[in-house]
Structure 1
């Protein structure tokens, strides 16, 4: 029976009986306790508002200047945080839009931190991100601040974000956040028209003093279109650059909406006769602020997204709603809804993803499969790898190659807002 979120209460971290330990994370001085993704996500992101002063070309939320009148209230947001604490001391991220468009953001960060959640925020790169508010957030208990940089220079970044000065604000925010003692990360969107900038981006990351670089591989939803996505081989090239960088970087590196990066890490390590793992050796950097890192977090599997009006999704890039925090218990939705349970069962995968020998460590992007085919169980459309069993079927003429397979499944991306 669903419980309204206002009746939630903080509780300990649940350990389920399914033995799912995909979230186990090695760290300096020992491993974090195994996480059961059937019982609790590693990460929850809340889209605090869709209001934002940027107009990014890829924007999942199609952000606009003004706040929506039906956004969660301060009291509702606090009730949501209480229910999320039932999962344990998980990571909670204030996203947007621009979280700094909410006047109660410091109050909510403090509330979540006092509950024991590990708090992070991803503000827009605008003048709203002042040193003063960042100091208030740090004093309130914020653990990490993330800034989006989508090019190695202002020309590339500002053209993508469609506001002049956004790149310079990003660099300023990172510097000021570090000066007041906040740990920082950079988020970067990989798309077709910045592939040639990736070497320069890798060099820039080494200069910024960050602990984490989260590299997002574009999902064609919101304002992004299929023609904006890099090719499967383009993805593969970036994966290899990230792996090479991970050997010397003083920060951790994560590929988001591209679990196939884990497959590349495993392949490269096997070729180098190293111990094989889906995580690179820099994971200890992301433990400096207590945030940590988990293996194989993906849509609905170790991950949950809540919209500005309280709708519950498997991720911000997979716009299939499973409930709303105003009417449904978000803990129950994550653990027991048909959608979340189906996404966590990789036996449901189709095509070469079902046949893949890396399926337990990857599973492909369910969001991108949905965006391109309308079926979140379909094979990852932007993966260059052909599993041996699938190649055998191709050779025997029992299944078509990738081009033919997806030609019959690709469709024009529909306009599907998150609410």
Structure 2
């Protein structure tokens, strides 16, 4: 779950891999109108966190900000968001377990009928008792971050010894109390060589979803930390190969070009005699993420099926795209999503520039708008870490 991008609350984080889908639906939500409503909303509950991650989007710190949304303000926001429909709502951070009202807020959202996800930090605050309380009040899925196949790689990235072991413990205890679980992993230059070991570990964890985040150079992350376009491509193919046999669903976040690789690979398989829907950007593991009602939607991108609210109520297209569109204390969040220029621009893929603007995969992909903004200052610029050369671009270069 996770835009998200998700600090520990990369979203997913967008947790739930941008979790979504009707609680009783058996298939992915295919025909959603993202002009009218997002698929997923992520709320950065706080920037307080006991970790000090190298990539932290939130620039997390030990103490809570006194200007954070109050319990009543958070409830009012959730009630208004529910008017979009039974969207996925994710508590992110910082560390959402730094808020003493987290159980009350999860209960409130569940009673409203939203699908509830949460992405706590991998620390001792995530006790089994707290996980049980959250399950009892209606939490659907819990996502935790594992950014390496072992403690050395993960703890170095998170800058707190013991974080990896806490992550494994939290997954185990969440499953023991009956929660559905997910892992979020940040792909960066430093852990590309760990991917084979990481995929092997993932098959042993009992999760329903693996959300793989491709680093966006903002917050504490730097451009030099981002893997190359060719390394992105390498990981995309590893993920697709894994999706054939993995006992969980897989999603690439901040890398919508993975959908292009999925379709390309499916076309190759059809030419070899396979019976595949080459238009479908979902892989075969999709049914795993439907089991808990969180599920998935197609073509979600920054501001396009996605909305992010900061700890102080500022509204953004995602946690990685820091172009403020309003604040819930002054503006209506439904109006922001539907009418703020940055949101309407991001949903109009005919506005995309460079090779993204002429790419045949534009509608299914669109490139990471957050990474384009981070590298160029223009959220409509072409994706700077994409190895694909569209036919129209290649023809122009060769003419």
With structure 1 as the length reference, what TM-score do the two structures score?
Answer: 0.88
Distance 2:367 2:30 in 1: 25
Is 2:371 the partner of 1:368?
yes
Which of 319, 323, 345 in structure 1 is aligned with 2:322?
Answer: 319
- SS, match of residue 51 in structure 2: coil
Is 2:391 the partner of 1:388?
yes
Per-residue deviation, 1:228: 0.1
User: 2:17 corresponds to which residue?
Assistant: none
User: 2:36 corresponds to which residue?
Assistant: 39
CA displacement 1:162-215 (0-9 Å, x = unmatched): 000000000000000000100000000000010000001100100000000000
Distance 2:29 2:342 in 1: 28
- SS, match of residue 39 in structure 1: coil
Distance 2:30 2:356 in 1: 29
Higher relative contact order (CA 8 A, sep 6+): 2
Kindly report which structure 2 residues correspond to 1:314-353, keeping only aligned pairs within 5 A, or say none: 314-353=317-356
Per-residue deviation, 1:30: 4.9
User: 1:68 corresponds to which residue?
Assistant: 65
User: 1:144 corresponds to which residue?
Assistant: 141
Per-residue deviation, 1:156: 0.1
| Runs of 4+ that moved beyond 3 A | 27-33
User: 2:105 corresponds to which residue?
Assistant: 108
CA displacement 1:10-64 (0-9 Å, x = unmatched): xxxxxxxxxxxxx999x98556462100000000000000000000000000100
Which of 197, 201, 204 in structure 2 is aligned with 1:204?
Answer: 201
Cα–Cα, structure 1 residues 33 and 236, in superposed 2: closer, same or farther, change >3 Å? closer
Distance 2:197 2:282 in 1: 23
Is 2:218 the partner of 1:221?
yes
Distance 2:342 2:262 in 1: 29
Per-residue deviation, 1:338: 1.0
With structure 2 as the length reference, what TM-score do the two structures score?
Answer: 0.92
CA contact (8 A) 2:29 2:296 kept: no
Distance 2:263 2:21 in 1: 16
User: 1:358 corresponds to which residue?
Assistant: 361
Per-residue deviation, 1:267: 0.2
- Mind listing any 5+ residue stretches in structure 1 that lack a counterpart? 1-22, 397-419
Per-residue deviation, 1:394: 1.1
CA contact (8 A) 1:24 1:33 kept: no
User: 2:245 corresponds to which residue?
Assistant: 248
Distance 2:30 2:154 in 1: 39
Number of matched pairs: 373
Which of 296, 308, 312 in structure 2 is aligned with 1:309?
Answer: 312
Distance 1:244 1:29 in 2: 24
CA displacement 1:129-171 (0-9 Å, x = unmatched): 0000000000110000000000000000000000000000000
CA contact (8 A) 1:219 1:371 kept: yes
- SS, match of residue 109 in structure 2: helix
User: 1:401 corresponds to which residue?
Assistant: none
Distance 1:321 1:34 in 2: 28
User: 2:11 corresponds to which residue?
Assistant: none
Q: CA RMSD in A?
A: 1.3
Distance 1:282 1:167 in 2: 26
CA contact (8 A) 1:152 1:204 kept: yes
- SS, match of residue 253 in structure 1: strand
User: 2:16 corresponds to which residue?
Assistant: none
CA contact (8 A) 1:212 1:285 kept: yes
Cα–Cα, structure 1 residues 153 and 31, in superposed 2: closer, same or farther, change >3 Å? closer
Which of 376, 379, 382 in structure 2 is aligned with 1:379?
Answer: 382
CA contact (8 A) 1:24 1:34 kept: no
CA contact (8 A) 2:21 2:293 kept: no
- Mind listing any 5+ residue stretches in structure 2 that lack a counterpart? 1-19, 271-275
Distance 2:289 2:234 in 1: 24
Kindly report which structure 2 residues correspond to 1:85-234, keeping only aligned pairs within 5 A, or say none: 85-234=82-231
Per-residue deviation, 1:292: 1.1
Question: Larger Rg: 1 or 2?
Answer: 1
User: 2:296 corresponds to which residue?
Assistant: 293
CA contact (8 A) 2:29 2:297 kept: no
